[in-house]
Structure 1
């Protein structure tokens, strides 16, 4: 018998969110705004993503709400499409990283022995090199296409997911009801998916939010360095790089994509903090 069923957890979570603190509601509102912007980007943007509409670095005006970039493309349009590209790629990367990391972590926790040792040592090797340096090296070798970017970052980030899943999964794997499932002949897939996974789901859900945030920041950082999302695809990291020279003239335009990155990171952390507080069972003062 499991301690917690996912369906019941979701229903309880929906009820709890109604009484969530203002910070969590603010974070969720920001996340929803970003998602809506990404989904409806073609309808919100006045121009196409890569269209050159004026001279480089035109100032803010009624026609160009946030001016133009170094090539004469509308900054507002690029900012809106940047939400779709940056968030979409970060989400796909995080899902792939969790698929790899959770599967390997559950296998290590369930089987133990040589399976655990082999996977753990492989992860140790991957984590021995700083993530950003490793990503720069691999992207320099294999290219900077979007599929390559997603695969490289997902593999590197899955090491963190593996460690967390393995650690909390092993705590569950030694409990009595898991041993009872083994004694009655349940297979390892059943034990992983029906006994261990539902009981570590709250921690993994919170970690998914944090991992998404870290992946999102890593992709933006790589794009700023020129090895992330490549032009003419709009991306907030590359937008900061392309318009950085305006800072010397007192123009705050480069701060807009940087602010969009920072605001999303803060919003995700506010929601994750509330979620962890609720999932831990602690009461508000």
Structure 2
């Protein structure tokens, strides 16, 4: 019976091409839960995010306020649920900007080669030589801290890393025989990128997208903690830590809860990425 169960599991894995262990499933559930909360935040918050619902600031956890209250007596559960909308939304948008631009340019440079590859790579190297936090601080201080600006700045900061990663993968695929045959057939650059290069690097690229997302979440939270991220009356998780830092000596959940929210999301994404290489090996086999 044990042998039959093992054979059934193996057959299922061969059919799907994916192998999730318990850690992978838990991580996926956490990520999907935060994504769902970010979408449905206005409908699931028990109180208004700006409503003062308690006369006691830095109130303790209770049945009425499961995560306590903040420095003004506002419900922390409501503010964290709504803060997910900004943390997840801005980070996801910036990740898509960085990875779509970086991966596209990386594949184009690898396939085209020559002066285009050299010039673009040197420009990317110059851009990546600027420390990310310094670039973000200067750009936000100079341009402003609106949500579209944050998305664009964070996307620009992590485009070079995505470019270098995609180019390194595409250079190897570009030397394959099937790419040479497609080039001899007279296929255009767009076809080579879309049909020949991208399908063969999509697994590692998806893993890199997850890493970029984690980096952007942490950088966004750091900017908000310094007061240069999401501005009041909106608040992301980094802003919630900053505005409630005065409750740290009291062990207030108002400062610990958003920190745990950041940790839960980033750790879940990292642990899910750790499961991706096994999935890729199974699929390629």
Structure-2-length-normalised TM-score: 0.90
Moved more, 207-216 or 242-251: 242-251
* C-alpha separation in 1, matches of 2:282 and 2:61: 49
Deviation at 1:142? 0.7
* Per-residue Cα deviation, 1:176-199 (whole angstroms, up to 9, x for no partner): 111111111101110011100110
Report the 3-state secondary structure (helix = DSSP H, G, I; strand = E; otherwise coil) of the residue aligned with 1:231. Answer: coil
Report the 3-state secondary structure (helix = DSSP H, G, I; strand = E; otherwise coil) of the residue aligned with 1:254. Answer: helix
Query: 2:138 aligned with 1:106, yes or no?
Result: no
1:193 alignment counterpart? 194
- The verdict on how the C-alpha distance between 1:74 and 1:14 changes in structure 2, with shifts beyond 3 A counting, is farther
1:49–1:234 Cα contact (<8 Å) kept? no
- The verdict on how the C-alpha distance between 1:149 and 1:13 changes in structure 2, with shifts beyond 3 A counting, is farther
Map 1:198-277; keep pairs closer than 5 Å: 198-277=199-278
Query: 2:29 aligned with 1:29, yes or no?
Result: yes
1:240–1:255 Cα contact (<8 Å) kept? yes
Deviation at 1:68? 2.1
Deviation at 1:264? 1.0
* C-alpha separation in 2, matches of 1:132 and 1:57: 31
- The verdict on how the C-alpha distance between 1:13 and 1:251 changes in structure 2, with shifts beyond 3 A counting, is farther
Moved more, 201-210 or 60-69: 60-69
Deviation at 1:16? 4.1
Q: How many residues align?
A: 272
Report the 3-state secondary structure (helix = DSSP H, G, I; strand = E; otherwise coil) of the residue aligned with 1:40. Answer: helix
- The verdict on how the C-alpha distance between 1:274 and 1:13 changes in structure 2, with shifts beyond 3 A counting, is farther
1:50–1:233 Cα contact (<8 Å) kept? no
- The verdict on how the C-alpha distance between 1:16 and 1:186 changes in structure 2, with shifts beyond 3 A counting, is closer
* C-alpha separation in 1, matches of 2:198 and 2:252: 50
2:85 alignment counterpart? 84
List alignment gaps of at least 5 residues for structure 2.
1-12
1:206–1:272 Cα contact (<8 Å) kept? yes
2:99–2:159 Cα contact (<8 Å) kept? yes
* C-alpha separation in 1, matches of 2:163 and 2:24: 27
Moved more, 104-113 or 70-79: 70-79
List alignment gaps of at least 5 residues for structure 1.
1-11
Deviation at 1:76? 0.9
Structure-1-length-normalised TM-score: 0.90
1:41 alignment counterpart? 41
Report the 3-state secondary structure (helix = DSSP H, G, I; strand = E; otherwise coil) of the residue aligned with 1:203. Answer: helix
Map 1:34-73; keep pairs closer than 5 Å: 34-55=34-55, 56-73=57-74
Deviation at 1:69? 1.6
2:124 alignment counterpart? 123
* Per-residue Cα deviation, 1:87-113 (whole angstroms, up to 9, x for no partner): 011111111111111111111111111
* C-alpha separation in 2, matches of 1:88 and 1:45: 17
